[in-house]
Chains A and B, each alone.
Chain A
Amino acid sequence: MLSPRAANDVEQLLAKWQQADDDAGRAAAIRRQAVLRAQGVEIRDYEFREKPNDWVHRDWMRPIRFVYRNIPRGVRMELKKRLAK
């Protein structure tokens, strides 16, 4: 069987890694804040964003969709062209 490393050496290594992790974490947080600042987003504690707004299936879209599908094809194509820009 292999021999374990001396407890003192292990403690020193763990402390060194802890320091490196703290540094990496700090650098990551600073980088994230810089990204948010560049995007003009408010910096606050992170939480998972839930699904973005599903505007396509809102009730108010139903009549618009109905009208759109029933207008003459030429008008519809023209609208599509303009909306796609």
Chain B
Amino acid sequence: MLAATSRSIGKLGPSRHPWYVTGTKGDVSTLVMRRRAPLSGRVTLGDDATCEWVVFLAAGDSVTRDALRIAGTAIDNVGPDIDVIYGDTRHDIKRDDRLPTYQRRPSFSPERLRSHNYIGEFIMAKRSLVDSVGGLAMLTDTNSHDRNLRLTERARRVHRSPVIFNVTPSGNLLPDANVDAVAQHLARRAIAADVVFDADTPAVRVRRRLQHQPKISVVIPTRGSSAELRGMSTPFVVNAVRTLVERSTYQNFEIIVVADTPTPAAVRAELSEIGGNRLLIVDYDKAFNFAVKNNIGVAHSNGEFVLLLNDDTELISPDALETMLALFEDGNVGIVGPILYFEDGTIQSAGHVFTPDPTDMYRLQPATIRGAHNYVRVQREASSVIAACLLTPRTVFEAVGGLSTQFPGNWNDIDYALKVQQAGYSVIFTPHAEFFHFESKTRVALRIESEVSKLGNRWGDILDDDPYFNPRLQRFINMWRSDFHTDRSYEEALGPTAPISSK
């Protein structure tokens, strides 16, 4: 098993950034690599306390020939505060269609790392960081999830290079998860939370403990329209409010319904009956503007948190509000979005990615789907979540100016999420809070060029390079899928996979 590892080390360099490679253990499960000019391509074994960087590599995996050169370039170009570097992995297995299998990874996603070890076995860290979090011997002995958590929680900057750094013969494409490692990490970070291990995924679910019970203002814009729901004609907004009131185990909320003037009196009466003294209906008689309607609703509300909710939604998991609310205990979270399903149980949205077209991930896929590397099943950072159901603190909403009225129909949620991140907060998607969203499955958001331009002129560079996506993935689709058609290495292009993947 170790022959491949040794061979790959032997082939490293020569490159512009020469490295010495030393093994601290007989099984070469940890390699210590030291950058020093000018001798290149030389490999020595044995720990070296003067080395600058440590590379952790699973026994049996191979380092790609370019890995260290690319890491060296990143160290030189990105900034001196880089403490940790990771990249992508190729699984050297042959599937039926003979395509190689890749693990393309997003930029650093701390919440996801608490759920599972998406970074994998290969990670580079500064020697000083390694020493400060417990030393090489300890990090070599512990499991990779624990090691990655320890390294990243103290790193000044974690850098992701979207290139293949290591090749593994392992056929397991699901990141592992270690519940003890996560529990210890939470204790070190003083995050009050319970951890539950889901062995089937595998993943760790981190449930923060709510320290207080803040009031949520639920803002629902509506026209009072009805549709067939489970065989009965039901006004959407009535169903949304009723299910929230009847099913939610968290009841400290008020409901602000922003109703277009034509909203039927019967619907208003029914809402008043269900909502009682915690409901407010605000009339809206101007031209349709989703952003303005929501902003007006928030302006009339008093809660510490704001839940933007479409009228065609329905609460599924009774503890959804607590689950979402608890994530704000960290203090740096600006938005939390749940997973949304269509009426037939297929996924409507599992967070957005920019491909560069803002896309609902795994839309129309069955609820049982894991997504690539359990993407759908884990709590994680996202660049944006859909405003059909989005929880945000009022202070953050006000600080960034609410939903931008420049986007009356589409993409106000994208713009809002990006403004929130620009202000220093993160956006979290959680699959542990579930709602229905009875949007038409065939609805395709009309792409208006002026809106593309407006959104792009603010955020174009992020749309083109979404940090929670990977430039080596297929664009303009709603799946996390490697792009076999473009961005290939010469080796891949000339090899046997090219004509097969062109089918």
Within 8 A of A (CB), among B157-176: none
Across the interface, do B493 and A2 meet the contact criterion of CB distance under 8 Å? no
Smallest CB separation, A44 vs chain B (Å): 9
- CB contacts (< 8 Å) of B463 on chain A: these are 46, 48
Across the interface, do B458 and A85 meet the contact criterion of CB distance under 8 Å? no
- CB contacts (< 8 Å) of B456 on chain A: these are 45-48
Across the interface, do A27 and B422 meet the contact criterion of CB distance under 8 Å? yes
Across the interface, do A2 and B277 meet the contact criterion of CB distance under 8 Å? yes
Within 8 A of A (CB), among B438-469: 449, 452-453, 455-461, 463-464
B488 proximal to A (CB < 8 A): yes
- CB contacts (< 8 Å) of A21 on chain B: these are 400-402, 404-406, 419
A61 proximal to B (CB < 8 A): yes
CB-based nearest A residue for B493: A56
Cα–Cα, bound, A30→B489 (Å): 35
Across the interface, do B458 and A32 meet the contact criterion of CB distance under 8 Å? yes
CB-based nearest B residue for A65: B494
Task: Indicate whether A85 sits within 8 Å of B476 (C-beta atoms), given known contacts A47-B453, A48-B452, A52-B487.
Answer: no
Interface string of A51-75 (1 = CB under 8 A from B): 1111111000100110011000000
- CB contacts (< 8 Å) of A49 on chain B: these are 356, 464
- CB contacts (< 8 Å) of B496 on chain A: these are 69
Across the interface, do B401 and A28 meet the contact criterion of CB distance under 8 Å? no
Across the interface, do B457 and A29 meet the contact criterion of CB distance under 8 Å? yes
B112 proximal to A (CB < 8 A): no
Across the interface, do A25 and B475 meet the contact criterion of CB distance under 8 Å? no
CB-based nearest B residue for A30: B458
Cα–Cα, bound, A52→B455 (Å): 21
Across the interface, do A83 and B490 meet the contact criterion of CB distance under 8 Å? yes
Within 8 A of A (CB), among B220-257: 254, 256
Cα–Cα, bound, A22→B400 (Å): 9
Task: Indicate whether A25 sits within 8 Å of B458 (C-beta atoms), given known contacts A85-B65, A85-B66.
Answer: yes
- CB contacts (< 8 Å) of A65 on chain B: these are 493-494, 498-499
CB-based nearest B residue for A62: B499
Scoring A46, A52, A65, A80 by chain B CB atoms within 10 A of each residue's CB, the highest score goes to: A46
Across the interface, do A28 and B476 meet the contact criterion of CB distance under 8 Å? no
Smallest CB separation, B392 vs chain A (Å): 13
Within 8 A of B (CB), among A19-49: 19-25, 27-29, 31-32, 35-36, 45-49
- CB contacts (< 8 Å) of B66 on chain A: these are 84-85
Smallest CB separation, B205 vs chain A (Å): 34
- CB contacts (< 8 Å) of B15 on chain A: these are 85
Across the interface, do A18 and B457 meet the contact criterion of CB distance under 8 Å? no
Interface string of B472-484 (1 = CB under 8 A from A): 0001100000000
Give 25 A-B contacts (CB < 8 Å), ordered by A residue.
A1-B281, A2-B280, A21-B401, A22-B401, A24-B423, A25-B406, A28-B422, A28-B459, A29-B457, A32-B460, A35-B461, A46-B460, A47-B453, A48-B456, A48-B463, A49-B464, A56-B486, A57-B498, A65-B493, A65-B494, A68-B494, A69-B494, A80-B491, A84-B490, A85-B66
Given known contacts A20-B398, A48-B463, what 19 new A-B pairs fall within 8 Å (CB)? A3-B280, A17-B401, A17-B402, A18-B405, A19-B401, A23-B401, A25-B404, A28-B418, A31-B422, A32-B458, A32-B459, A35-B461, A47-B456, A53-B486, A56-B488, A56-B492, A65-B494, A83-B494, A84-B491
